Amino acid sequence: MSTAHAAPFVNDAWLTGRAEGYERENPAHPGQVVGAITTADSAVVDDAVEGAVHAWADWRRRPAQERGRVLIRAAELVAARVDELSTLLTLEEGKTLAEARGEVVRTAETLRFHGMQAWQPCGEVFHGGANDEIVRTHRVPIGVVGVITPWNFPLNIPAWKIAPALVHGCTVVWKPASYAALTGAALVRILQEAGLPRGVLQFVPGPGARGQQLVEDPRVVAVTFTGSEAVGRRIAGICAARGAGFQLELGGHNPALVLPDADLDLTVRALVTSVVSGSGQKCTAARRILVHDDVRDAVLDRLTAALSQVKIGDGMDPASTIGPLISAEARDEVRQAVDNARTEGADVLVGAAPADDAHLDGGYYVRPTLLATDKPDLSLACEEVFGPVSVVLGFADVDEGFRLANTTRFGLSAAIFTGSERLARRAADEVDAGMVNINQPTTGSELHVPFGGMKSSSAPGPKEQGQTARDFFTETKAIYATAVR
Ligand code: NAP
Ligand code: MG
């Protein structure tokens, strides 16, 4: 198998000659090298920021539609390379090929959507208070932004941050996740091929310290980050102290509320998706399944049967419905969290056994696992563990179910399963989550709709995706003009 490569991309050059780097293994076949990554040191990050400052002087003045056309060309290139990109994504990150294809297609659509924003209105016009006066507003780009991304959607999350930054006239320095820098480099190559000018997008693979360097650099006017709560809080502190903008998408602990009048077939299908997709390594995965006592046995019988039939295996095998976790550490952390929950008194309904059959070749698998508890403060019922593991809690009346849906500090997504329009409406009104799904998995699935959380899942401010993405990368200017006669 030929291996992939990644390296820093700074001022239109791939810095492949540097000595420092590491190899990325295939999480389905540890020991099999997917590719080699050359990393940036602090001098490279410094050059990348300086280059982005220079590039901004010109990029911000280009017609927005010229900037948009580059993104639309990149969208076409991504769409033409679905096979190649999705294969690399599966080999490097582990998700199934079907999921990887979905992510690649959505990445093309994301690039196209934001490219097309150059043809949208860019301001408003107001009557002035004085005679003949008009006031108009328009949005201006803020400058060099730092983009720091996780490995779980290594094409689409970067695309939904980088594309609006670029179309609205910012330049970008991007620190990808170390586990998925090969896929990141593939996206950079495509944007380069689509015609991005020198310095407009700088790519600096390397450890978290390189990300922190970006966060601390006074030339970086704002940072958009998706990842863990701990790193996000640190970024917020540094940015707030130096007056830089920050946008955070952090963890979730998403409730799925099942009421007695739910359509159980639909509910179980949606719950399986919410637990297993991306091997549960999704910030929108269902972590707490809250089931009304009247349907508890019926739901759990079907759900455990469905989860025990999920086919674990290499994402490249079309028969697999769930791939490995990202690393041995991630697998061990999930297993430890399940063991701790058992020690705390939770019952295993399905899963929990190690996934170590010979055909799995030592890959980092975890069986889809459901634990039942009556303690809402069980750590697994409050803290996010990034794997295909969910906790079931029962409730006897609907008010109690709604209360349980809001008991964590997170508020990213939620789902309610009910036939009642009144209760669906109540969920939309009362569940503290950025995305409320009625009779659907716990996702936020549309790229043209704002995406993000409430409470500790995010930071207050403009949401990502959709047209609101613009607001983080621009600021409003008001122009007052009196007609000259
Ligand atoms: P992570 O450890 O926070 O890493 C995210 C990114 O930050 C990576 O590029 C990482 O680099 C970098 N980083 C690490 N330390 C840093 C520092 N001190 N300063 C600046 N950057 C630093 O998260 P992860 O392990 O990749 O992803 C899992 C987490 O992300 C989960 O908690 C999940 O809930 C969350 N997530 C949230 C969303 C959402 O939209 N809300 C989406 C996806 C994931 P390295 O890779 O080199 O460590
Ligand atoms: Mg991490």
CA distance 103 to 11: 28
Query: Atom 31 (ligand 1): residue with closest C-alpha?
Result: 228
Distance 298 CA to ligand 1 centre (A): 38
The answer on pLDDT for 179 being more than 90 is yes
Q: Does ligand 1 have an atom closer than 6 angstroms to the CB of 177?
A: yes
Say if ligand 1 is within 6 A of residue 384 CB. Answer: yes
The Cα–Cα gap between 371 and 146 comes to: 39
pLDDT of residue 132: 77
CB atoms within 10 A of CB 426: 16
- 449-463 pLDDT tens trace: 999 999 999 999 999
Ligand 1 centre from 179 Cα, in Å? 11
Domains of the chain from N-terminus onward: 4-250+459-480 (3.40.605.10), 254-438 (3.40.309.10)
Q: What is the pLDDT of residue 358?
A: 87
Question: Both tokens of residue 314?
Answer: 């290499």
pLDDT of 237 strictly over 70? yes
39 lines ligand 1 (CB under 6 A): no
Q: Which of 5-9, 129-133, 193-197, 302-306 has the lowest mean pLDDT?
A: 129-133
3-state DSSP of 114-170: HHHHHHCCCEEEEECCCCCEEEEEEEEECCEEEEECCCCCCCHHHHHHHHHHHHCCC
49 close to 197: Cβ distance less than 8 angstroms:
no
Which of 95, 203, 228, 410 for a ligand 1 pocket mutation test, highest count of atoms within 8 Å of Cβ? Answer: 228
Q: Tell which one of 22, 42, 148, 384 to mutate to probe ligand 1, the residue whose CB is within 8 A of the most ligand atoms.
A: 148
Report which protein residue has its CA nearest ligand 1's atom 47: 207
Residues 204 and 144 sit within 8 Å (Cβ to Cβ): no
- Which ligand 1 atom lies nearest to the CA of residue 229? 32
Instruction: Give pTM, 2 decimals.
Output: 0.98
Does the pLDDT at position 1 exceed 70?
no
Structure-block tokens of residue 304: 């455990």
Distance (Å) from CA 248 to ligand 1 centroid: 10
- Tell me the CA–centroid distance for residue 218 and ligand 2, in Å: 25
- Read off the tokens for 468: 């609101």
Question: pLDDT digits over 286-338, tens only?
Answer: 999 999 999 999 999 999 999 999 999 999 999 999 999 999 999 999 999 99
Tokens representing 35?
């590719």
* DSSP 8-state class, residue 362: T
Indicate whether residue 283 lines ligand 1 (CB < 6 A): yes
Judged by its nearest atom, the ligand closest to the C-alpha of residue 410 is 1
* pLDDT computed for residue 365 by the predictor: 97
Closest ligand to residue 252's CA: 1
Catalytic positions: 249, 283
Q: Tell me the per-residue pLDDT of 258-267, one tens digit each, with 9 for 90 and over.
A: 999 999 999 9
* 412 Cβ closer than 6 Å to some ligand 1 atom: yes
- 55 CB within 6 A, ligand 1: no
> What are the Cα distances from residue 260, in Å, to 195, 291, 293, 374, 419?
55, 8, 8, 19, 9
Q: How confident is the model at residue 356 (pLDDT cuts 50, 70, 90)?
A: confident
Q: Which atom of ligand 1 is nearest to the CA of 227?
A: 30
With H, G, I as helix, E, B as strand and everything else as coil, classify residue 229.
helix
Cα 212 to ligand 1 centroid, rounded to whole Å: 12
The 3-state DSSP composition of the chain as helix, strand, coil percent (nearest 5) reads 40, 25, 35
- CA 33, 190, 462: angle at the middle one, nearest 5? 100
What do you get for the CA distance between the two ends of the chain, in Å? 73
Q: Is the CB of 201 under 6 A from ligand 1?
A: no
